[in-house]
Amino acid sequence: MTYQAVSPSFNRFSNSFPSLRAGSLEVRLAQSEEEIHAAQRLRYDVFYNECDARPSDAMMRTKSDTSLIDDYCDVLLVIDHTHNKIVGTYRFMLREAAESYGSYFTASEFEINKLIVFPGQLMELGRSCVHKDYRTKATMQLLWRGIGAYVGLNQVELLFGCASFVGTDISKYRQALSYLYHHHLAPPELRTRALEPHYQEMNIIPKDAIDAKVAMQQLPPLVKGYLRAGGYVGEGAFLDRPFNSIDVCVIVKRETVTTRYSQRYTQDHEGIEEKK
């Protein structure tokens, strides 16, 4: 596999990204093809072995979650130096890289034209996962700090991506989806919409009938983190049966992400977050 830099702002294998530490854990960008492959193997273990997504034949043979779009993305890693292994990962795609690739992953599930015309640098986040033995506050704090550092380094103005609920039973998440619709729906100028025929209505329960405590328990930890950073969600959820997930489109503006992502992440750190 050949990895290519598609623009000066594309940081693959760059030394300009800071190394951030917390005890034996470090967060930084991948620095080699070997590290990229290790992150892809971790993704396979979490998404396909643990969350019951359906891999392609090629992925099943290699036990690796690979995609052409990976060649156009920076990959954030959380590394446990005590055991010398990658235990967390996140995939970042900048506007120039998406233009070179031809699209964003999010566009395969949501209408995102309103985001594409947003002025300034765009950043798509996705394919986030953490090894089951490392879903702790320390690991999640490092991921958030890594996101904040990348946003600052690239002067990102708007972040977005698909965030996943594990499973495809809408009724299991009716409180959470309704809560997102009534309290965190993006303003019209930034509002994406899930594509047909996979569109699922999020306005399932009336606003005054929502149990906020139950809704928060149903929300994936990274979705809650995005909300704390002032994030919004698009209209409708995307039902992805092959990936065994229900996806929402999350949108966050730069002015809220840089300080909150890098300085705050409290509670709710125990789950599997984004698969897209």
Residue 265: band (very low, low, confident or very high) from pLDDT cuts 50, 70, 90: very low
Cite the DSSP H helix spans in 86-240.
Answer: 95-101, 113-116, 137-154, 174-184, 212-218, 221-228
Task: For residue 116, give the 3-state DSSP assignment.
Answer: helix
**Quick check: 275 pLDDT over 70?**
no
Specify the pLDDT at position 7. 41
Q: Which domains does the chain have, with CATH numbers?
A: 20-263 (3.40.630.30)
Specify the pLDDT at position 107. 98
Region 143-159 average pLDDT: 92
Compute the CA torsion angle 103, 156, 131, 267 (nearest 10 deg).
Answer: -130
| Calpha distance 88→93 (Å, rounded) | 17
Specify the pLDDT at position 13. 64
DSSP 8-state symbol, 54: -
Q: Which of 265, 249, 244 has the alpha carbon at shortest distance from 124?
A: 249
Q: In this predicted model, which residue has the larger pLDDT, 272 or 12?
A: 12
As given in the structure block, the two tokens for residue 246 are 């229900």
As given in the structure block, the two tokens for residue 247 are 């996806």
Query: What would the pLDDT profile of 180-225 be if each residue is shown by its tens digit?
Result: 999 999 999 999 999 999 999 999 999 999 999 999 999 998 898 8
Query: Out of 9-13, 117-121, 126-130, which region has the weakest mean confidence (pLDDT)?
Result: 9-13
Region 35-61 average pLDDT: 95
Determine the residue type at 70.
Answer: D
**Quick check: 273 pLDDT over 50?**
no
**CA neighbours within 13 Å on the CB side: how many for 197?**
1
Task: For residue 17, give the 3-state DSSP assignment.
Answer: coil
Determine the residue type at 264.
Answer: R
Determine the residue type at 73.
Answer: C
**Quick check: 9 pLDDT over 90?**
no
Beta-bridge partners for 89: 77, 129
Determine the residue type at 24.
Answer: S
**Quick check: 256 pLDDT over 80?**
no
Specify the pLDDT at position 267. 36
Region 230-237 average pLDDT: 96
Residue 137: band (very low, low, confident or very high) from pLDDT cuts 50, 70, 90: confident
